[in-house]
Structure 1
């Protein structure tokens, strides 16, 4: 079930009404209703993979209890590694098996050995990377005595499968979400209004910005050999905008939906394209994944402690693993490697925490220096996204070679360039609103457009009209991160 679908537009109000009017002040009933709704939500993708979700839930639920009651260190480790091995095993089979087999076969062919590998003809279960990481963080935290195991199976199942975050995050922590699940919740009008605003802005990002940019990004990348450097640079810019609008749009809808039910999920985006260096970018982009790798991989490896070689090793490792998490393609690994290179100077010179505040806080415009740093960081990000979007490494290098050729100076032209002007106008308006709202959780949370309520509501209705117009003129498009 897509957030940008008619199905979800019917599903959400029904669950909302049942939740607040029929299970009001009945915590067990509310949690059970949300669990049933979440399983239905996931089953709408492919009911055959419900068994995998339920198995993962049961595995980590019982492993957590066994880790807690185990009397010896050996027993604790056994249950921890049982959970980790099975979870990563499923992830490896469904997501990475074909990649490893094909890469091994290609490696053998380089030394003259031929192999005809058998690939698995299976669909990647949607959300498997996200709910697997939910469960892993839970059992690891129990092993480290950070939390006690959850004995209520319904509550734990809801923690893993809560439908707003189930298929594309944010990647929640038990320390943050489980206490909210176990606490009585009451309807708060202001919280629900905030939720609706965030859903509205998320839909605008996805349907009006991301899906329109996708049309031109797909045209250019899918036919990259036919275009000049100037057109390919435009394609990279379109994809840069698309992936931000698509994924942060999903996160906004997820957080806004959760607010309707009285939950505050972890923030996943904080205006990353206004970052002044790559370190700041990664504190603002896919925050829940970045902090997951920091807490469960980077710090256990030693983090920034020790000498420069340790910092270099650990930084490259988490970025390469993060790239591989995104998909079974060398392009993602190289994308992670590039970001490690980009962030390395700030790691070595310990300037990675220089920009912790909001850029130009309390001001309308940034300084000249901040503007230069934002543009530099943005261009480095665009460069890295080329590898993320390309079908293979060769295509990425061919695109980059052409961008840095004389054809970059030619006037860009591709089929549909005239239609792209409208998208460009919407994009400029979108980033202007994002800039104005950068000090809040989401751009239109407290956005003041004039002093008149009429102007405020006109702005919201204009957003709704744009969403409905573009939604009715195109087919429902899946979110990019569903493939991860």
Structure 2
């Protein structure tokens, strides 16, 4: 079920009403109802893949209890390995099996041999990369004695399958989200209004910005061989806005929806397009994933050696795996490698955390240095994102070569590009709102500070009007559903 579908528009108010007015008498009833609603939400796409969520849930519930109750180190470690093996085994089987088989066959071809292992006709289950990481972190944290396991199977099952963030995150930690299932929740009107406001902004990002950018991005990337350098650069820039609007829009809708049910999810995007360097960009982009890899991959690797060699090695491992997490394609691995290269200078001169606060923290507008820094980071991200969008490595290389052509200094053009003018205006409006809302958890929260109620209502009406005018009649999937 998609957030931007009519199905969800019907599903959400029904679940909300039953949750607060029928099943609010006992906490276990509420959790059980959320569990059922979450399984319906996920099963709406393909009911047979519910078995994977159940296997992951059952495995980690059981192994979590076993790890916590044993004092034998080998016994505890064996159950942790079981949890990781089951979760990553499912992830590998559905997401990466064919990738390795294809490359194994090609490797033999390069040496003049013929080897033809058969690939499988596999459908990638939506959200498997997200909920497997969420459950793995649960057992790892128990193994590290950072949290205690829950004995409430219903609460744990609801934690794993919680429908607002099930399909594309944020990837929540048990330390933050699980206790919220174990404690009584009370509806607060202000929290509900805040949730609706964030949902509205998420829908604007997705339906107005991302989906409209996609029209031009798709054409430019599919016809890149015939277009000028300036047009190709425009395609890369628009794809940055598309993927940011699409994914951060999903996160806003997820967080806002969770707030309607009395839950607080972590912030997943912190205005990354205003970052002054690449390390800051990654601290602000897909925060739940970057902090997951930091805590469960980078920090453990850092304990196994010191010095620049190990630091460089660890950064490349981190970004290559981050790229591979996004998909079983060499383009994602190349995207990860390029970001590792971007990261290296800051790592070597120890300026990874030099920009901790927001840009123009004490002023309305940025100074010239900050404008240069933000522009530089945006351009680097746009170049890197070409690998993310390209069909293969050769396509990405040809696309980059096409950009850095003498035609880069001409005006972007292809037949039909004239329709882009309203979109440019919408992107400018979008970025203005994001800029003035950058001190908040999400941009539209700034409307709360408007002095006059009539002005607040007018602004909400404008957002709703723009959604109505510029949303596409066909429902478009969120980009990160494929991961």
Q: Distance in 2 between matches of 1:97 and 1:311?
A: 30
Matched with 1:46 is: 46
Matched with 2:293 is: 293
Matched with 1:142 is: 142
Q: Distance in 1 between matches of 2:451 and 2:267?
A: 29
> SS at 1:299's partner residue?
helix
Matched with 1:352 is: 352
Q: Distance in 1 between matches of 2:297 and 2:32?
A: 34
Q: Distance in 2 between matches of 1:174 and 1:450?
A: 36
CA shift digits 1:268-312 (9 cap, x unpaired): 000001000000000000000000000000011116972111111
The alpha carbon displacement at 1:456 in A equals: 1.6
Matched with 1:175 is: 175
> Is the contact made by 1:83 and 1:136 (CA closer than 8 Å) also made in structure 2?
yes
> Is the contact made by 1:196 and 1:257 (CA closer than 8 Å) also made in structure 2?
yes
Matched with 1:480 is: 479
Matched with 1:74 is: 74
Matched with 2:63 is: 63
TM-score, length basis structure 2: 0.98
- Structure 2 alignment gaps of length 5 or more: none
The alpha carbon displacement at 1:450 in A equals: 5.8
CA shift digits 1:432-451 (9 cap, x unpaired): 10000000000011236864
Matched with 2:20 is: 20
The alpha carbon displacement at 1:370 in A equals: 0.8
Q: Distance in 2 between matches of 1:221 and 1:272?
A: 24
Q: Is it true that 1:423 corresponds to 2:423 in the alignment?
A: yes
> SS at 1:300's partner residue?
helix
> Is the contact made by 1:202 and 1:249 (CA closer than 8 Å) also made in structure 2?
yes
> Is the contact made by 1:304 and 1:311 (CA closer than 8 Å) also made in structure 2?
no
Q: Is it true that 1:470 corresponds to 2:470 in the alignment?
A: yes
> Is the contact made by 1:303 and 1:314 (CA closer than 8 Å) also made in structure 2?
no
Q: Distance in 2 between matches of 1:366 and 1:305?
A: 40
Q: Distance in 2 between matches of 1:5 and 1:204?
A: 14
Q: Distance in 2 between matches of 1:26 and 1:362?
A: 48
CA shift digits 1:322-365 (9 cap, x unpaired): 00000000000010011111011111111111111111114210
Stretch deviating more after TM superposition (192-201 or 302-311): 302-311
Matched with 1:385 is: 385
> Is the contact made by 1:25 and 1:186 (CA closer than 8 Å) also made in structure 2?
no
The alpha carbon displacement at 1:452 in A equals: 2.8
Q: Distance in 1 between matches of 2:51 and 2:154?
A: 16
Q: Is it true that 1:29 corresponds to 2:17 in the alignment?
A: no
Q: Distance in 1 between matches of 2:232 and 2:90?
A: 38
The alpha carbon displacement at 1:238 in A equals: 1.1
Compared with structure 1, are the counterparts of its residues 436 and 57 closer, same or farther at alpha carbon in structure 2 (3 Å cutoff)? Answer: same
Compared with structure 1, are the counterparts of its residues 369 and 25 closer, same or farther at alpha carbon in structure 2 (3 Å cutoff)? Answer: farther
> Is the contact made by 1:94 and 1:122 (CA closer than 8 Å) also made in structure 2?
yes
Matched with 2:334 is: 334
Q: Is it true that 1:6 corresponds to 2:3 in the alignment?
A: no
> Is the contact made by 1:298 and 1:315 (CA closer than 8 Å) also made in structure 2?
yes
> Is the contact made by 1:449 and 1:455 (CA closer than 8 Å) also made in structure 2?
no
> Is the contact made by 1:321 and 1:333 (CA closer than 8 Å) also made in structure 2?
yes
- Structure 1 alignment gaps of length 5 or more: none
Matched with 1:461 is: 461
Q: Distance in 2 between matches of 1:73 and 1:50?
A: 33
Matched with 1:271 is: 271
> Is the contact made by 1:358 and 1:439 (CA closer than 8 Å) also made in structure 2?
yes
CA shift digits 1:174-232 (9 cap, x unpaired): 00001111111111111111100000000000000000000100011111112111111
> SS at 1:430's partner residue?
helix
Aligned residues between the structures: 483
TM-score, length basis structure 1: 0.98
Q: Distance in 1 between matches of 2:319 and 2:137?
A: 19
Matched with 1:200 is: 200
> SS at 1:165's partner residue?
helix
RMSD: 1.3
